[in-house]
Structure 1
Amino acid sequence: MISANELRTGVTFEIDGQAFSVIQFTHIKPGKGSPFVRLKMKNLMTGNVIEQTFRPDEKVKSAYLEHKKMQYLYDADGIYTFMDSGTYEQIGLTKDDLGDAVNYLIENIVVDVVYFLEKPVSVELSTFIEAIITHTEPGIKGDTATGANKTAEIETGFSLMVPLFVNEGDKVRIDTRSGEYLERVK
């Protein structure tokens, strides 16, 4: 059991058979009355984000999540297929299940699929990925001193801002937490 005072961003817990992950938390101590904890939390089963208030002494059940390394295979009609490399078992997840992770799913990438009660509920990517730029405007020679950026599209269709010296066909490293360009990879 976890007390409401111990809930922090990223902690997962269970309420009424549903798994929740804390997105944002605030400890509030009003001038009058008892303190409380306000949480913004995501239901891992449905994807809904809700806000709820807890007394600091309330307890919630810790959620047991299982992580399996799986390889992303392909997308067919909005179903993203992953395969367990050990057992060759395949599962399909929807865009709603994946959230922002869908922007970084390159074929054959290995990800952590998160299970709750033997049901896949989400995907966790590595912090950084490397992707190839498929479309961007060419940079103008000599215009690199300003530190300006331009829009580029990677092989998954995701658009991000990159420096002017990055061209089509270049491989870049991207932070999957923020979607920001980090560096060009040789």
Structure 2
Amino acid sequence: MYTVADLKKGLKITLDGDPYIVIAFDFTKPGKGQALYRTKMRNMINGTILDRTYRSGETFEPASLEERQMEYLYKEGTHYTFMDQQTYEQVVMEEEAMGDAKNFLLENLKVDVMLFGEKAIGVALPNFVNLRVIQTETWAKGDTSGNDSKPATVETGYVLRVPPFIDEGELITIDTRNGEYSTRVKG
């Protein structure tokens, strides 16, 4: 059990049967009376934001979340399918629960899937993934017009800015935390 004194940004709790993560927190001590704890929480299943104020002494249940390493198998419509490597159990996740992670998923990529009960509610990607550039503008050698980057589309359909020397068919490393180009893969 957590008390309101345990509340902090990033804490995961269960509220009304759903998992929530605290995204903002403020402590106020008025001149008289009990201290007030103002929180802003995001529902980890549907993404809704909840503002609540609590008084000292109130308690919360920790969110019973489990993270399991799984392999991304395929996308069918708006559903993404993952498989547990130990049990071969498959889990399906809705596209809205994927967030930006869908931009970097390739078949057979190992990811950490967050589960609430048996429902998949989030994906943690590796910090860097290698994706192939499938479309970009050609660069004229000696072009010094000042553009130090150009748009490129990778095999997942994600569009990002890359240096002008990157060509179609090249493998690049992308930082999944910010979605930006990191380096060109040699070889």
Q: Is the 8 A contact 2:98 2:123 kept in 1?
A: yes
Q: TM-score if structure 1 supplies the norm length?
A: 0.85
Shift of 1:25: 1.4
Partner of 2:45: 45
Structure 1 CA distance for aligned equivalents of residues 108 and 164 of structure 2? 29
Change (3 A) 1:75 1:158: same
Partner of 1:155: 155
Within a 5 Å distance, the mapping from 1:1-186 to structure 2 comes to: 1-22=1-22, 24-29=23-28, 36-55=36-55, 57-143=57-143, 146=146, 148-186=148-186
Q: Is the 8 A contact 1:7 1:25 kept in 2?
A: no
Change (3 A) 1:8 1:178: farther
Question: Which whole-Å deviations, capped at 9, do the CAs of 1:90-114 have from their partners, x for residues lacking one?
Answer: 1211101212211111111011111
Question: Number of matched residues?
Answer: 185
Mean CA deviation greater in 64-73 or 84-93: 84-93
Identity within the alignment, %: 39
Shift of 1:32: 6.3
Q: Please report the RMSD computed on the Cα atoms of aligned residues, expressed in angstroms.
A: 2.4
Q: TM-score if structure 2 supplies the norm length?
A: 0.85
Return 5+ residue gaps in structure 2 as ranges: none
Structure 1 CA distance for aligned equivalents of residues 172 and 5 of structure 2? 41
Shift of 1:2: 2.6
Return 5+ residue gaps in structure 1 as ranges: none
Structure 2 CA distance for aligned equivalents of residues 132 and 100 of structure 1? 18
